[in-house]
Amino acid sequence: MDIVVIGATGHIGTFLVPRLVRAGHRVTVVTRGTSTPYADAPEWERVERITADREQEDRDGTFGDRIAALGADAVVDLVCFTLDSAEQLVRALRGSRTHLVHCGSIWRAGVSHVLPITEETATPPFGEYGTQKDAIARMLQQETADGGVTTTSIHPGHISGPGWLPIGPLGNLDPSVITRLATGETVEVPGLGAESMAHVHADDVAQLFQLAVEQRAAAAGRAFFATAPTALTMRGYAHLVASWAGREARLESVSWDRFRATTAPEHADASWEHLSRSQVFSTEEPQRVLGYAPAYTASETVRDALRWQAVHGDLDVPETFRP
């Protein structure tokens, strides 16, 4: 099968491209050419590379036609963030046999009302990012229902893995939270600490994209959430991190006003975005339809990511810290 992967050197592509090559597919990667995969693999030597500035080409109205001209059996789009960009690609692919597999986000779902959240029980999204991802997914499903391009959308949780810092115990990317937990300092937790996060290992997300590409008929017109089979609460995550340094987490519950007053704005905003949703997702639908079998629990996912950070010296933690 000829497969094009757009945005191939990011979190998902780092694991997806080698998977597809090992499975015997011919892979063409489309990137800006400004970054390399987070993890090296010999399979990268067997792919064709195309450099493209998608944002500029979308403005010029040429990107979709450029991708369609490749004549691929499947296009995996990992870096589409607006409805206009998605519609340009869909228009260019109409009349072809290409299967478009789009990367969305769990933030197409809003706050949790019923847990676990399923594709049927998700509440309406909020915020620009989530509403755009939801609009794209709905457009793609309607396109396929109307007999146009065959599409599938996959909506990952908080993608984690070796090479980058995962969303932390307070729902943000502040590495000092890990340091404070590992050294026994008290950490202020906004709310009760029972709010949850939906982590997923990048390789498990890559697995689901591969399954969707290879099972076109089953995946056609569908939208799937991609998370670990478990989820971590704030306090559970904090106690896990502290335990890797041989400590008990010292947590103090505070109001959101207090938390915002003592936290850098970008970290406080990120915490609110993640924790106000407090999402836990079911993996039953992709398991039933495509055979999705995530290899990592949420705990194992963040452990793998933080272990890499500790080994490579990217965390300020004591020597006793052993994820």
Sequence ranges of the domains in the chain? 2-159+200-226, 162-198+230-279+296-311
- The H or E element containing residue 206 is helix 202-214
Compute how many other C-beta atoms are within 10 angstroms of the C-beta atom of residue 213.
24
pLDDT digits 0-9 by tens, 17-45: 999 999 999 999 999 987 889 988 999 99
Question: Between β-strands 26-31 and 48-51, what pairing exists: parallel, antiparallel or unpaired?
Answer: parallel
Compute how many other C-beta atoms are within 10 angstroms of the C-beta atom of residue 297.
16
pLDDT score recorded for residue 73: 98
Q: Is the peptide bond before 162 cis (omega within 30 degrees of 0)?
A: no
pLDDT score recorded for residue 204: 98
pLDDT score recorded for residue 257: 98
pLDDT score recorded for residue 212: 98
Could you say which residues of the chain have pLDDT below 50?
Answer: none
Question: Which residues contact residue 311 at a Cβ distance below 8 angstroms, ignoring those fewer than 6 apart?
Answer: none
Amino acid in the structure at residue 167: I
| Site of tokens 């030597």 | 45
d(CA 185, CA 310) in angstroms, rounded, equals 19
d(CA 108, CA 209) in angstroms, rounded, equals 18
Joined together, the tokens standing for residue 281 give 């997702």
d(CA 247, CA 229) in angstroms, rounded, equals 27
- The pair phi, psi for residue 253, each rounded to 5°, is -75, 130
| Site of tokens 């949780």 | 157
2-159+200-226: CATH topology is Rossmann fold (3.40.50)
Compute how many other C-beta atoms are within 10 angstroms of the C-beta atom of residue 305.
23
